[in-house]
Amino acid sequence: MNMTKHDYKQNAYYIIYLIKCALTNKVPAKEKLDKMDMSLLFQVAEEHSLTAVTAYALESAGVFDKSFSEEKNMGIRRNIIFDAERSSVLAELEKAGIWYLPLKGIILQKYYPYLGLRQMADNDILFDPSKRNEVRDIMEALDFTTVKFGESNHDEYQKPPVLNFEMHNELFLPEYEETIYQYYENVDKRLIKDCDNGFGYHFTDEDFYLYITAHEYKHFIQGGTGLRNLADKYLFLEKHGEHLDKEYIEKELRKMNITKYERESRELTLKIFGGERLSDKEKELLDYYIFSGTYGTVERIVEHRIEKIGGGLSAKAKYFSERFFVPVSKRSEDYEGFAKKYPMFYKYKILLPLLPFYRLFKGLRESRKRIVPEIKTWFKS
């Protein structure tokens, strides 16, 4: 169902209110609930991966909506399956003597008051980058299918019905933000050894906060990032805020050049979940989160990329050429990844000139929701 920007924003504000109720164990007020259209509310909550936590708030007030309840139950089931399968993966990493670090949602889900409230599309785990092939063997031995390997800073593995694991050999790529990439280039030196296993590691609370802030910032400046990140930040600060070494955090934020972003996002988070009035500038910032969805929008990603490489017609041309780029020399750092992803074209190299068009039509067939907005944004940027 389509809705106006005004309606979308209003429903986002309802969701913020309901999240606050769920996280603080309060029953939503009837006069608020009476104003809500469940179908519109669900659409916005789904785009921000907040259907489960919204469902808990609604059900606490006796409001049972089929779509919300199904998503909540699915979220609980998904988390149980993820937790069980992750235990198997980590046990195999232990046997192989490969160090590992669970990331993001694996840790953040523990701050939510009930199982399944923090919806997860995947599990992210950082591991010893020298063991990439060994990790692939482990995942495939556990009946995962390798979806992507050697193409980025993480390899992707899937297993029915809902499992998606992203195994990271690095936390960030240099094309995102060079200062952040350099800061985390030797991240293993920042890790603390777990006391209850042989090869598991974790961040200090300060370094975990720095990491989730840097990760959030990466999404924020590219395609945008949504309300779930604000809920994550709120719960983390509620748990640890008073005990964090703020001087250390400030010093490290300056190294990554994200001091201003951290301050503004933190102040916004504490205000919206604390029920404080927002300034006009803070309302504008909240709008950016609201209209980004969980993972940002394709339009913003394209606009950011074109702006980053200089803007104007020349930047558009460069962006277009990069999207159609096909490595033909083994000296190219992208060659191996392309060869694995498109083996037929690299086996019969006479076909390589056709690969850009194959990629375009494959994208239109399989990822139309991404490709079409990308093309439209390219023409209007």
Q: How many residues does the chain have?
A: 381
What average pLDDT is seen over the chain?
87
Instruction: Say what percent of the chain tops pLDDT 90.
Output: 66
**Cβ–Cβ under 8 Å, residues 123 and 105:** yes
φ/ψ (deg, to 5) at 292: -95, -25
Q: Which band of pLDDT confidence, cut at 50, 70 and 90, is reported for residue 136? A: very high
Residue reference for tokens 């916005």? 44
pLDDT at 178: 84
Which of 211-215, 253-257, 367-371 shows the lowest per-residue confidence on average (mean pLDDT)? 367-371
**Stretch 178-196: mean pLDDT:** 93
**Beta strand pairing status for 100-102 and 123-127?**
antiparallel
pLDDT digits (tens, 9 = 90+) for 31-64: 999 999 999 999 999 999 999 999 999 999 999 9
pLDDT band of residue 337 (cuts 50, 70, 90) is: low
Q: Please, which contacts does 338-345 make with residues 24 or more away whose CB atoms are closer than 8 Å?
A: 340/149, 340/150, 340/151, 341/148, 341/151
- Judged against a pLDDT cut of 70, whether residue 304 lies above it is answered with no
* Of 114-118, 194-198, 326-330, 363-367, highest mean pLDDT: 194-198
pLDDT at 214 (0 to 100) = 96
Centroid of chain to Cα 327: 28
**Mean pLDDT, to the nearest integer, of 329-357?**
77
Quick one: average pLDDT of 144-150?
A: 91
